[in-house]
Amino acid sequence: MSYPFFLRLAYVGTSFYGWQIQTTLRSVQGELWKALRTLDPDAPMPQGTGRTDAGVHARAQGVLVTVARHWDPYRLLAALNAYLPSDVRVMTAEAAPEGFFPRHHAVAKRYVYKLQEGPAADPFLLDRAWHQYGKEPLDRKAMAQAAAQLVGEHDFSSFRAAECAAKTAVRIIFKVELVDCGPALDLVFEGNRFLMHQVRIMTGTLVDVGRGRKSPDSIATILAARDRRKSGISAPAHGLYMDQVWYQRRGGIGDVSPWPEPL
């Protein structure tokens, strides 16, 4: 008899070489599996909703774990956190429905990229946000105009890493929002799926627009080119957060997606 549970993990990615387990390097999946096997030595490897790169943070990494005996969800959460390092935590735990698999049943995700501005980087945001040096803030109006062109279903070949192995670069972006936080700016991206480094490259390109290096109208041309060389740099990993994942309604896991599910 086995018992599946759905966990929502939060972690600071600074000291991790990404979510996926590594042979010798520290990973979030590896640390969680180590803690899980302390409770159940035969527990299979935890399965996450998606990979995060080295240095990327998460507030809502969805994970499926399977244990050999029934647990009260709160006690499982507390027991795992007792064995996890302080930079990763199980935030919620609940019984998972039969056949649920986080990666396959995810229908939409939200990523947030955090920027800070000004003549000096805030030391309290070290490894938490990408600092934009300068006296003047980024041109938010131009960035919003550019961001609007990313919304919809497009071939995002110009916005994916060269080593991306996805079979197709077609993705749907539901929303790109700029949230002004004083001398800081959050870029919020919601979409059905994301390509390798897609959010970081979109961020780098929008920053180029905000600095006047690219025109707001250039996004359509960059998309049409389907050429990575036409877009901006890949923003550093430390400003990126996996902020929310929505799953199929029928599973009853988490909040209901505000976006339509695929038929």
* Residues noted as catalytic: 53
Cβ atoms within 10 Å, residue 188: 17
**Cα separations in angstroms, 62 against 42, 50, 91:** 21, 8, 10
Phi-psi region of 208 (alpha: psi -120 to 50; beta: other; left: phi over 0): alpha
SS3 92: strand
The span from the CA of 256 to the CA of 17, in Å, is: 31
Amino acid in the structure at residue 221: T
**156 HSE (CA, 13 A, CB side):** 29
The 8-class DSSP code of residue 139 comes to -
